[in-house]
Structure 1
Amino acid sequence: MNDLLDRILGLPRQQKIGVLAGLIIALLALDYFFLYAPQSLKSAQLAQNIESGQQERDKKRKLAANLPKLEQQQKELDGMLKLAVAQLPERKEIPDLLSSVSSKAREAGLEILIFRPRGENLQEFYAEIPVDIVVRGGFHELVTFFDEVGRLNRLVNMQNIEMRNPKVQGERVSLDASTLATTYRFLDEGERKRAAADRAKAAKAKR
């Protein structure tokens, strides 16, 4: 070490300055790599963690702000579901419901020509129960019948209404009206599983 210092001290002035400048640069480089660079990396990681934390905090704040709205929407959906369930008859209620529909026709003054239930059509969560109906009577009686069916506390959908064969009987015109009346019921868990299996089997058969 002393020999090195002696050599440096024995150098001309310009060379001494160059050697000292090189030493200073080397020391600064060592300081950077061993002191500043690790701290800089830690600072960058810390800044990234802070930014991620702020983003997560903002996300949770937004969710918290929307929570009352989401809860209200959930309540509304629950209410709509309960209303829908209340309008759909249970399996045991179907015969009485169909009897009510035919009674509404007679009470309106119509003659029932056809009242023929079809087989159930199973969907994912419910079953459709269609009934072919053909009645005869005046236009006013027909309108009364359709209106009364629409007022039932159970859902009955009247589709494909057709009126034909007008006949004059005294001072009134008699018509034959046909319609497909469809009511619905929710499937229980076992029925839903069977319906899903049937759909999967039918889809596989089409391949």
Structure 2
Amino acid sequence: MALGDYLKTERLIKLPWYQKALIIGVIVLVIVILYFFTLDRKYQNKIKDLKGQIAKLDKDITDLQTVKRDLPKFERQNALLKKQLEKAMTKLPSKAQIDALLKDVTVRARNNNVDITAFEKKPEIDQTLYVEVPVDIKMKSGFFQAMIFFNELARLERIVNVKNLTMKSDKIGNLEVSYTLNAYRFREASEATPETKKGQAKKGFGKPKEEE
């Protein structure tokens, strides 16, 4: 006899007590199985989610421990780079010191019997971290005096270089030399960077207002 037939009220009432108990037990068992199946799936998902969170936290802890272990090395590297930057910056004079540097160049020329006939400071060229200061120079001297003078320029503590060098000899054997001396100075904190100036130009900063 099918369970559905037993569940009919008339038949259920007429059944012996042990059959009634069996039917009730089956119903309760089905309910319990369904409940635990649903509950089990719920907790399986929860456990899976928690395991994923724990794995992520374990990885984060491992990464932090690695960073903590390497932190002294990073600090030493940072300190070394700062010292190297400070040392490099000492080779770049400030805006106030650049004239003193250029004067030092003329003094060294005079001390080596080099006659500077033209000394024209050109407009400064903005770079990202520094400012280039070009100076067009013409001079007359003997060959060896010129070589000694250029050697002294190369040994300056400040950074300078020579570009566009041309030489020719006059009628009595002296050299006539022309070149561009590029000196470099430190960018002052108050000075706008080239990027800032470009931005201001795009926005129209510094342009005169049109008359109404």
The TM-score bracket by the shorter chain reads: 0.7 to 0.9
Q: Number of paired residues?
A: 193
- Cα RMSD between the aligned structures? 3.2
1:105 maps to 2:104: no
Indicate the SS of the match to 1:192: coil
Query: Using the alignment, how far apart are the partners of 2:79 and 2:71 within structure 1?
Result: 12
Question: Where does the alignment leave 5 or more consecutive residues of structure 2 unmatched?
Answer: 1-6, 17-21, 205-212
1:29 maps to 2:49: no
Distance 1:90 1:65, change over 3 A: same
Indicate the SS of the match to 2:192: helix
Q: Scaled by the length of structure 1, what TM-score is found?
A: 0.76
1:63 maps to 2:63: no
Query: Using the alignment, how far apart are the partners of 1:104 and 1:8 within structure 2?
Result: 129
Query: Using the alignment, how far apart are the partners of 2:199 and 2:66 within structure 1?
Result: 41
Query: Using the alignment, how far apart are the partners of 2:112 and 2:158 within structure 1?
Result: 19
Q: Paired residue for 2:3?
A: none
Query: Using the alignment, how far apart are the partners of 2:108 and 2:14 within structure 1?
Result: 120
Percent of matched pairs sharing the same residue = 27
Q: Paired residue for 2:186?
A: 186
1:48 maps to 2:32: no
Query: Using the alignment, how far apart are the partners of 1:96 and 1:49 within structure 2?
Result: 65
Query: Which of 152, 157, 161 is equivalent to 2:161?
Result: 157
Query: Using the alignment, how far apart are the partners of 1:100 and 1:5 within structure 2?
Result: 122
Deviation at 1:32, TM superposition (A): 0.9
Deviation at 1:124, TM superposition (A): 3.5
Q: Any conservation in 1 of the 2:170–2:176 contact (CA below 8 Å)?
A: no
Deviation at 1:23, TM superposition (A): 7.1
Query: Using the alignment, how far apart are the partners of 2:119 and 2:100 within structure 1?
Result: 14
Judging by fraction of residues, say which structure has more strand: 1
Indicate the SS of the match to 1:185: strand
Question: Where does the alignment leave 5 or more consecutive residues of structure 1 unmatched?
Answer: 11-16
Query: Which of 122, 144, 147 is equivalent to 1:143?
Result: 147
Alignment deviations for residues 107-140 of structure 1 (CA, whole Å, 9 cap, x no partner): 2222212111112223344322111112222332
Deviation at 1:82, TM superposition (A): 0.8
Query: Using the alignment, how far apart are the partners of 1:139 and 1:132 within structure 2?
Result: 20
Q: Any conservation in 2 of the 1:131–1:181 contact (CA below 8 Å)?
A: yes
Query: Using the alignment, how far apart are the partners of 2:75 and 2:164 within structure 1?
Result: 40
Q: Paired residue for 1:198?
A: 197
Deviation at 1:42, TM superposition (A): 1.9
Counting only pairs closer than 5 Å after superposition, residues 73-152 of structure 1 correspond to structure 2 as 73-152=77-156
Judging by fraction of residues, say which structure has more helix: 1
Query: Using the alignment, how far apart are the partners of 1:81 and 1:201 within structure 2?
Result: 29
Distance 1:86 1:2, change over 3 A: same
Q: Which amino acid aligns with 2:37?
A: Y
Indicate the SS of the match to 1:154: coil
Q: Paired residue for 2:207?
A: none
Indicate the SS of the match to 1:190: coil
Counting only pairs closer than 5 Å after superposition, residues 8-27 of structure 1 correspond to structure 2 as 24=29, 27=32
Q: Which amino acid aligns with 1:28?
A: I
